[in-house]
Amino acid sequence: MTKNTAQTTQTIIWILCILLGIAGIGICIHALLNFNQANVIVEWTTASELDTVGFNLLRGETENGPFEQVNVALIPSVSDTLTGSSYSYEDTQVIGGTTYFYMLEEIESSGNASQFGPIIVKANSPMQIELVVGILLMLGAGVYIVLLLRDQRKQVARDAE
């Protein structure tokens, strides 16, 4: 299972105001641009972990690879041999709007590795734009037009097979 999240890493705000002649009417345009870091959260659950030492998460840009290891160190197994556990790993090295393929690699105490997957996911779009346009009278009365442009698409992972 995968989830897409976004964390704000930089915000740029700009305001443009123009005063129109003697009538005292001001036009203000305010834009808020949030540049977000695109992330993918991969979650998995095991039924049992007999001889499992840990896991590696592999990412590729095509279904057949090549795949690169995403995690720096082995993700350690946390359960005993008879019960399973749930895991989650956040991949922050993705580009918004790009489709990725993930595979899970289980490492056993003998050194043997088994791979599962791939699953396919499209990383979330990393930019959010909020635009506010206002027409303001100098005496304090005002009419506001608000345009909100936001990426509301749901990202869904599916098996690549």
State the CB neighbour count (10 A cutoff) for residue 103.
Answer: 20
Are 119 and 102 contacting, i.e. CB atoms less than 8 angstroms apart? Answer: yes
Model pLDDT for residues 61-116, shown as the tens digit of each residue: 999 989 999 999 999 988 766 777 888 888 888 888 888 999 899 999 999 998 88
**Percent of the chain that is helix, strand, coil (3-state, to 5):** 0, 65, 35
Instruction: Specify the pairing of strand 52-60 against strand 142-149.
Output: unpaired
Q: What is the CA 53 to chain-centroid distance, rounded?
A: 28
pTM: 0.60
For the chain, which domains are there?
2-159 (2.60.40.10)
State both tokens at 58. Answer: 């592999």
Tell me the per-residue pLDDT of 49-64, one tens digit each, with 9 for 90 and over.
888 899 999 999 999 9
